[in-house]
Structure formats: C-alpha cells, structure tokens
Amino acid sequence: MRYLLRRLVESLVTVMLILTVTFFLFRVIPGDPARILIRGPGITRDVIEHYERLFGLDKPLIVQFGLFVRETFRGNLGISFAYKTPVLELLFERMGNTLVLLVPATLISILLGLFLGVLAAWKRGRPLDFALQVISLGFWSIPTFWLGMIMIMLLGRTFSTGGMVTAGAAHGSIWAYLADLGKHMFLPALTLVLIMHGQYFMIMRSQLAEELTEPYTRTAKAKGMRPARILRSHVVPNAMLPITTLIALNLATLVAGFITIETVFSWPGIGKLVYRAILMRDYPVLQGILIFLSLSIVLANFLADILYTVLDPRIRYR
C-alpha cells in the first residue's frame, strides 16, 4: 500500500510537471505568445474575449498558469480553430477509433514479440536467434508510414483502405459492419504489428538473457530439469515482472507509429487529428493532444504498477 501511495504521489507530480512543460512551451516560445492559442482564423471577437477572461491573458504568467491548470482539470482544453468545437469533445470522438485499431495491434505485437523473444533466448547464438534478431530489428528500423505505403501498393486492392468502413455504404447488420471494419483494419493493424513487435522482442530477449545468468537457473539445471521446462516454469514467469513495467514505460514510443499510420490509411482517429492540426496550425488541438496523450500514459503506468503489486507479493509488503 505504501508503495502504491508513493507511486500515486509521484504520478501527480508528473502530471503537474507535464502541465508546466506544456504551458511554457506554448507561451514562451517566440511567436504571438499566449494569444496564439485563441487567435485562430475565423474565431469571433466574442469567443476571443471570453477566453481572454477565462485564461486571464492580461494577468501575469503565474496567474495564467494557475487558470490553465484549473481549466485543464475541469476538462476545458480550449476550442479547435479548424473545427470550432471544444478540443476535449474532438478527442473523445476520435479516441474510440484509435483504440479500435491500436489495442488489438498492440496486444498482438506484445504476444508475438514475447513469443519470438523466448524462442530467440532459448536458441541463443544459433541461426534461428540470428534470423529473428535481424528480422525484428529490421522491421523496427522501418518508418511505419513507409511500410504502410508499401502495404497499400501491394495489397490495397485485396483489402480495403481509406477510412474505417466503406464511405456511404449501408450495412444491413452489425455483422456486415464488423466485416467491413475488419477489411479496412487488416492492413493498418498488420503494419503496426510488423513494426511494433520488434521492441517487445528485444525487451523479452535481453530480459531472459539476464534471468538465465541467475543462480536459480543453475539450480534448476543441476536438478536435471529440461531447458524447455526451466524456461517455461522458472525463467519466463520471473522475467514477466520487469517486462510489465518496461511495456508500460515504452507506451510513449507507440504514438509516432499510430499517428502516421492513421495518416496513411485515413483512419479517423487521434493521429489523423494531429496531422490535420499540423496542416491547419490548430494549436489548441495540438496542445490538447499533448496533454491528453501524456496523461493517458501516466495513467497506464500507474495501472501497470497496480498490476505489478498484484503479480509480485514482495512489493505489497514493502
């Protein structure tokens, strides 16, 4: 409990630091400081005045920061220049679409990466290990969007691309809808899995390599246990603990992949929103997404810590 409490406090400090960095980034960098966020093209005078009052833009920076934190915690992330709707609404609208693609792709990547990692660690130094390392690192080295472009070129006719479902199609039943969704999802998800599994492979392989030098492995070997069994019942379970933390810590690295893959496949999620926001200089949306994604990652890390205490009783009594 003490451990979780400490992690909770640390997470809250992290949240405050993230808000501080974001606030000063958007206000201290040269340009039209502060007002950059509310002076979009086509925003009416009333809206500007409302926001000037709300964020106290005539007050000192420190007061503005206080108001910014208050409004953020109230869920007010400002108004999008391009869509003229509150940023939070836009994010909630798009988040579902991103999760539909990202969650299955990430889970499959993790499972595939861990499985191949165990295989490589077991056959360490043999041709299979060598081949797996080249393949995983090779895919890891590819820019996601480029692989996506190749996928569209090679398989774009077999599978549907562009959007989540065929535009304007009337789906008779939920099953027809899901079938159409699956057909659109296959290529972007496959691209993400191919690129993302590499990092999980490397985490698993090096973690296992470390566990294999521990004395308990030697003991198991001395007892005459078969290598496959040592891996399955001793080494892999032990390695899983640090791996949950590492996977949560690496969440931030997924973001680049899904932003560009949504752009390539016109998937109407948060990534596509980022792309549009860059093109339209929609700063409130960029700021909102930065805060939103950072806080999601902090939350995921905290959840991973809770999971860790459940999995590892040693932590609970610390």
Partner 1 sequence: MAEIREAFRTSPFGKAGLVIVGIFAVLAIIGPYIAPYDPWKTADQLEDILAPPSWRHPLGTDELGRDILSQVIYGTRITLIIGLSAAAIAVVVGTVVGVTAGYLGGPVDAVLMRFTDSFLSMPFIVLAIVIVSLMGRSLGNIILAIGLVQWTQAARITRSQTLSIKERVFVLRARALGAGPLYIMRRHILPNVLPLVFANMTLVTSLAILSEAFLSFLGLGDPTKFSWGIIIRYAFETGAVSIGAWWYFLPAGICIMLVVLGFSFISNTLDEALNPKLRRGQVVI
User: Can you name the residues that pair with 86 across neighbouring β-strands?
Assistant: 79
- Identify which of residues 77 and 264 has a Cβ nearer to partner 1 in the complex: 264
Nearest CA among 216, 198, 175 for reference residue 254: 198
The three-point CA angle 281-286-291 to 5° equals 165
Is 143 a residue that touches partner 1 (CB under 8 A)? yes
Q: Token digits for 208?
A: 């296992």
- Identify which of residues 133 and 177 has a Cβ nearer to partner 1 in the complex: 133
Residue with tokens 């999008």: 80
- Identify which of residues 300 and 307 has a Cβ nearer to partner 1 in the complex: 300
- Identify which of residues 70 and 218 has a Cβ nearer to partner 1 in the complex: 218
Q: Token digits for 299?
A: 């939350």
| Interface positions, 112-131, toward partner 1 (CB under 8 A) | 124, 130
| Interface positions, 149-168, toward partner 1 (CB under 8 A) | 149-150, 152-153, 156
Element containing residue 165 per DSSP (H, E): none
Q: How many CB atoms lie within 10 A of CB 266?
A: 15
d(CA 203, CA 247): 8
Q: How many CB atoms lie within 10 A of CB 316?
A: 13
Can you tell me which of 38, 90, 193, 255 binds partner 1, judged by CB under 8 A? 255
Size of the site for partner 1 (CB under 8 A): 64
Distance (Å) of CA 22 to CA 4, 25, 65, 288, 295: 27, 5, 10, 10, 12
Q: What is the dihedral of CA 207, 212, 217, 222, to 10 degrees?
A: 170
| Interface positions, 9-48, toward partner 1 (CB under 8 A) | 10, 13-14, 17-18, 21, 25-26, 29-31, 36
Question: What does the per-residue mask of binding to partner 1 show for 260-279, with x meaning CB under 8 A?
Answer: x--xx---------xx--xx
Residue at 159: amino acid letter:
F
Can you tell me which of 75, 138, 182, 237 binds partner 1, judged by CB under 8 A? 138
d(CA 163, CA 141): 26
- Identify which of residues 14 and 64 has a Cβ nearer to partner 1 in the complex: 14
| Interface positions, 180-219, toward partner 1 (CB under 8 A) | 206, 209-210, 212-213, 217-218
- Identify which of residues 171 and 225 has a Cβ nearer to partner 1 in the complex: 225
Computed over its alpha carbons, how large is the radius of gyration of the chain? 24
Can you tell me which of 185, 203, 289, 308 binds partner 1, judged by CB under 8 A? 289
CA atoms within 13 A on the CB side of 214: 16
Is 103 a residue that touches partner 1 (CB under 8 A)? no
Helix (H, G, I), strand (E, B) or coil at 86: strand
Can you tell me which of 4, 252, 307, 315 binds partner 1, judged by CB under 8 A? 252
Return residues touching partner 1 (CB under 8 A).
10, 13-14, 17-18, 21, 25-26, 29-31, 36, 124, 130, 133, 137-138, 140-143, 145-147, 149-150, 152-153, 156, 206, 209-210, 212-213, 217-218, 221, 227, 230-231, 249, 252-253, 255-256, 259-260, 263-264, 274-275, 278-279, 281, 283, 286-287, 289-290, 293-294, 297-298, 301
